[in-house]
Structure 1
Amino acid sequence: MLKPDIQYTQVLNNHGIKVHAQEQFCTGCVLGKHHRESFQSRKYRPRAPGKLIHVDLCGPMHVTSLGGSKYFLVFKDDFSRYRRLFFLMRKDDVAQCLETFLNESRTAGNTVECILSDGGHELTPLM
């Protein structure tokens, strides 16, 4: 709301200047005070590394890396928060990176039970 400054309004009124100020809604103020809906809390929390893995592919980037990559793929373990990052030249390299990540997890003694992605189509053919 646009609220008239009471102190200045009183000063003007004391000097014989009538101020008819009204409170008005300011769209920017109203939108600025809105809060996002919070995410529902998940019922499932993993109790060991490797049980739930989040995956996201980002790119293409406007600037290529020194190695010529335009994409990166990140795997994040929900339990330990460990992240593994792969740089990719093409989206087609996702399958190889997934295989590498799963092999590394097995070598570390962790069995990946669930992979969660943001709904991107890069993992759909692999599942």
Structure 2
Amino acid sequence: ADLENGIYRLNSKNDQKQVCHFAFDNDKLLHRRLGHLNVKGMQILQQNSTGLKGIIKTNTPCEVCSSGKQSRLPFKYRGHRSKNLLDLVHTDLVGKMEISSIGGSQYFMTMIDDHSRYVHIFFLSHKNEAFTHIKDFIALAERQTERKVKAFR
């Protein structure tokens, strides 16, 4: 090793290819480590790589792969949408967020009309502001639609 500018420089030349050879006795372990690659893909990988020894032979089903290929019926549509504006208004209060918004809010509240799916969002600095915003939304919606809010969830 030679000292250059306060740093030791190691002069070494190695022309050998650095290859890692390994053999798997357990095809299932290799299958999992390769992200649940199929058997044909594992065999192609074995043919095209220098470091993968061993014979990939198993075609035993993987429980994770089997469950991933399954499908299920969609949820039944309940068809229970309200008939008129403001018959039903849904609300949700979300927070406390770790990062405040630009305006300093750490909560937000959504108001969704069930009939029209109109969404109104309020940003809140504190949870106790929610009731005031609910009253304001109801007053605004009733004034604009000339209808009364019948149910509020």
Alignment map for 1:1-127 (pairs within 5 Å): 4-5=39-40, 21-35=57-71, 38-108=74-144, 109-116=146-153
Q: Deviations over 1:43-91 (max 9, x none)?
A: 5321211112121111111211122100000001121111111000111
Runs of 5+ consecutive residues of structure 1 not aligned to the other structure: 9-18, 117-127
Percent pairwise identity = 31
Q: CA RMSD in A?
A: 3.0
**Most deviating of 56-65 and 19-28:** 19-28
Count of residue correspondences: 107
8 Å CA contact 1:3–1:22 kept in 2: the answer is no
CA distance in 1, matches of 2:107, 2:150: 26
Separation (CA, whole Å) in 2 of partners of 1:65 and 1:3: 46
Unaligned 5+ residue runs, structure 2? 1-35, 44-54
Q: Which has the higher contact order (CA 8 A, sep 6+)?
A: 1
TM-score, reference length from structure 1: 0.66
Q: Residue type of the partner of 2:69?
A: K
Q: Kindly indicate whether the alpha-carbon contact (under 8 Å) linking 1:73 and 1:88 is maintained by their aligned counterparts in 2.
A: yes
Contact 1:54 1:76 in 2 (8 A): yes
Larger Rg: 2
Q: Distance in 1 between matches of 2:124 and 2:134?
A: 12
Output one character per residue of 1:28-51: Cα deviation in whole Å (capped at 9) or x when no partner. 213323446644432532121111
